[in-house]
Amino acid sequence: MKISLGPNLYYWSREETLEFYEQVVEWPLDIVYLGEAVCSKRRLLRLDDWLEIGEKLSAAGKEVVLSTLVLLEADSELKSLRRIIDNGKFLVEANDMAAVHLASNNIPYVAGPHLNVYNGETLALHRDLGAQRWVMPVELSHTTLTEMQAQRPEGLQTEVFAFGRTPLAFSARCFTARAHKLPKDDCQFRCGDYPDGMLLKTQDGEPFLSMNGIQTLSAATTNLIEALPQMQKMGVDVARLSPQSHHMGKIVEAFAAVRDGKLNPTEGAEQVNRVIIGTPCNGYWYGEAGMDWSADAALAYSQP
Amino acid sequence: MSQKLELVCPAGSLSALKQAVDNGADTVYMGFRDATNARNFPGLNFDERSALKGIEYAHSRGRKVLLALNTYPQPQSWEIWTAAVDRAARIGVDALILADAGLMRYAARTHPDLRLHLSVQGSATSAEAIAFYRENFNIQRVVLPRVLSLSQVKRVVESTDVEVEVFAFGSLCVMVEGRCYLSSYATGESPNTCGACSPAKSVRWEEAADGRKVRLNEVLIDIYGPGESAGYPVVCKGRFEVNGEVGYAIEEPTSLSILDILPELQRSGVKAIKVEGRQRSPAYVGQVTRVLRQAINSATINPDGFVPRAEWVAQLDKVAEGSTHTLGALERGWQ
Nearest neighbour of A116 by CB, restricted to B126, B178, B242: B178
Distance from the A107 Cα atom to the nearest Cα atom in chain B, whole angstroms: 15
Which top CATH class is A2-302?
Answer: alpha beta
- Domain final residue pick, B248, B281, B303: B248
Same domain assignment for residues B155 and B261: yes
B114-to-A43, B90, B109, B110 alpha-carbon distances in Å:
44, 10, 10, 9
Residues in chain A closer than 8 A to B246 (CB atoms): 203
Same domain assignment for residues B91 and B62: yes
Range of the domain at B240: 184-248
Res. B32: pLDDT tops 90 = yes
Same domain assignment for residues B229 and B275: no
Q: Where are the domains of chain A?
A: 2-302
A191 within 8 A of A226, measured Cβ to Cβ: no
A237 within 8 A of A259, measured Cβ to Cβ: no
Hey, are the CB atoms on A72 and B73 less than 8 Å from each other?
no
> What CATH number is associated with residue B66?
3.20.20.70
- Domain final residue pick, B248, B269, B295: B248
Distance from the B88 Cα atom to the nearest Cα atom in chain A, whole angstroms: 20
Same domain assignment for residues B93 and B214: no
B201 Cβ neighbours under 8 A, 6+ residues apart:
none
Same domain assignment for residues B96 and B242: no
Same domain assignment for residues B107 and B201: no
Cα(A207)–Cα(A190) distance, integer angstroms: 20
Same domain assignment for residues B22 and B70: yes
- Domain final residue pick, B248, B270, B299: B248
Nearest neighbour of B100 by CB, restricted to A122, A166, A172: A122
What total of structural domains would you count in chain B? 2
What's the pLDDT at B96?
Answer: 98
Same domain assignment for residues B12 and B94: yes
A139-to-A121, B50, B181 alpha-carbon distances in Å:
18, 33, 7
Q: What is the pLDDT of residues B232-256, one digit of tens each?
A: 999 999 999 999 999 999 999 999 9
The residue of chain A with its CA nearest to that of B248 is A179
B177 domain residue, yes or no: no
Same domain assignment for residues B166 and B259: yes
CB contact, 8 Å: A212 with chain B? Answer: no
B158 domain residue, yes or no: yes
Beta strand A109-111 with A157-170 is unpaired
Hey, are the CB atoms on A97 and B155 less than 8 Å from each other?
no
Q: Give the pTM.
A: 0.96
Quickly state the pLDDT bin for B34 (edges 50, 70, 90): confident
Same domain assignment for residues B13 and B48: yes
Total residue count of chain A as it appears in this document? 304
B262 within 8 A of B296, measured Cβ to Cβ: yes
Same domain assignment for residues B132 and B189: no
B101 domain residue, yes or no: yes
Quickly state the pLDDT bin for B40 (edges 50, 70, 90): confident
B56-to-B7, B14, B17, B59, B113 alpha-carbon distances in Å:
19, 11, 11, 5, 20
Each of the 304 residues of chain A gets a pLDDT tens digit; together they read 999 999 999 999 999 999 999 999 999 999 999 999 999 999 999 999 999 999 999 999 999 999 999 999 999 999 999 999 999 999 999 999 999 999 987 899 999 999 999 999 999 999 999 999 999 999 999 999 999 999 999 999 999 999 999 999 999 999 999 999 999 999 999 999 999 999 999 999 999 999 999 999 999 999 999 999 999 999 999 999 999 999 999 999 999 999 999 999 999 999 999 999 999 999 999 999 999 998 765 555 544 4
What's the pLDDT at B210?
Answer: 87
Same domain assignment for residues B120 and B77: yes
B154 domain residue, yes or no: yes
Residues in chain B closer than 8 A to A174 (CB atoms): 335
